[in-house]
Structure 1
């Protein structure tokens, strides 16, 4: 699991423990611990919005659906993450191959992922995704 995956898992654990109640706050705190307060890596939008998008859809265990993404322009990362969960439901073996999962999500279009799949796979592999 890479560092953005760790941030996602730690943010969920913070919420489940009652330490934080809002996914954005939990993400920001976990990212500050992982990368340092105010760093580019802490502020990186793609993995953060993938995480918040999964939360918005009620797909993350223990987090109620709601409105969590700060900017409407960030919705594409939510879409990638939600679509990846749908793919994993039908093809769970892809949880072992981040790049193959990304290619399926992108319908074969050549575009490199920007840590969205790290977030999805970390939560999926830690059984923090509601998959029914």
Structure 2
């Protein structure tokens, strides 16, 4: 599992264990421990906003829906990738192809969004 996939799973575990952190607070705690305070990996927005976008929709187990991100694009990418994964679960083994399908063939590098979606999906943390 990738570093952002691990962060997503640990963030859900933190939220579910203590039930006092918002998804954003929990993500910041987990990524600070994993990567260091204000490190480039800790501050990276794409995986964080993909995670928060899924949380907003109330589809992450143990996380209440709410307003957690302003990122429209990363939320959209995560939701679309999740829909594709539900139809083609074998794509958990091919994040590049999942990203390509999510982007409908348009070239753009993924920045951890697929790692978050795949990790939550594989760990059965999606409702």
Fold shared, TM-score > 0.5 on shorter chain:
yes
Residue 29 of structure 1 is matched in structure 2 by 29
Question: Does residue 1:50 correspond to 2:50, yes or no?
Answer: yes
TM-score when normalising by structure 1: 0.92
Question: Does residue 1:13 correspond to 2:8, yes or no?
Answer: no
Deviation at 1:106, TM superposition (A): 0.4
Structure 1 residue runs of 4 or more that deviate by more than 4 Å after TM superposition: none
Gaps of 5+ in 1: none
Question: Does residue 1:89 correspond to 2:81, yes or no?
Answer: no
- Alignment RMSD: 1.0
Q: How does 1:61-76 map to 2 (within 5 A)?
A: 61-69=61-69, 72=70, 74-76=71-73
Deviates more, 1:49-58 or 1:87-96: 87-96
On the 8 A contact 1:14/1:20 being kept in 2, the answer is no
Q: 2:53 & 2:63 partners in 1: Cα distance?
A: 12
What is the aligned residue count?
127
